[in-house]
Amino acid sequence: MVVTRRAVFVALASLVVIAAVAVTLVLATSSNKQPGADDKEPATFTLKGTLYVAQCTSSGYGDLLPGAQVEVKDQSGEVLGVGTVQISDAVANRRSGEVLDPKAVCTRMFSVANVPTGRKMYGVHIGNNNRGVIWKPEAEAKQGFELSIGS
């Protein structure tokens, strides 16, 4: 088999074209990413939740009023973030399929931004020290908390 200069030139030219197309594709796909963006999961998330307070007009729930502190902790007790209870736009009259008296239940919302990921358990504490902490694993905590007091 005789290799001519023309055959070598065509083969080299083909390789150059293939390499140029490959480089163009790599550059085109990498330029679609925003600066600093990568495929990793975010290092933080916003923990959200709803608090249902039965008979919220009674004097026993003064520590759960709008503005009350919400703490998010990890399994070691480290406070990961702090937020506040907010009043909701609507009074809840249904929760988990249960019909409740809308005058007797107050709905409060809360969110805590920039909660770090990567912890085994996340606990939410609202109100005075007698209230305790409600715990969830990370995947469930990212879905949000739904808490009931007095029902």
Strand, helix or coil at 74?
Answer: strand
For residue 115, the tally of other CB atoms under 10 A from its CB is: 20
What backbone phi and psi angles, to 5 degrees, belong to 64? -115, 15
Element (H, E) at 17: helix 5-31
Q: Which domains are assigned to the chain?
A: 44-149 (2.60.40)
Spatial distance between the Cα atoms of 123 and 134, rounded to a whole number of angstroms: 5
pLDDT in tens, 19-41: 666 677 666 665 555 545 555 76
pLDDT in tens, 105-140: 788 899 999 999 999 999 999 988 888 899 999 999
Spatial distance between the Cα atoms of 145 and 51, rounded to a whole number of angstroms: 8
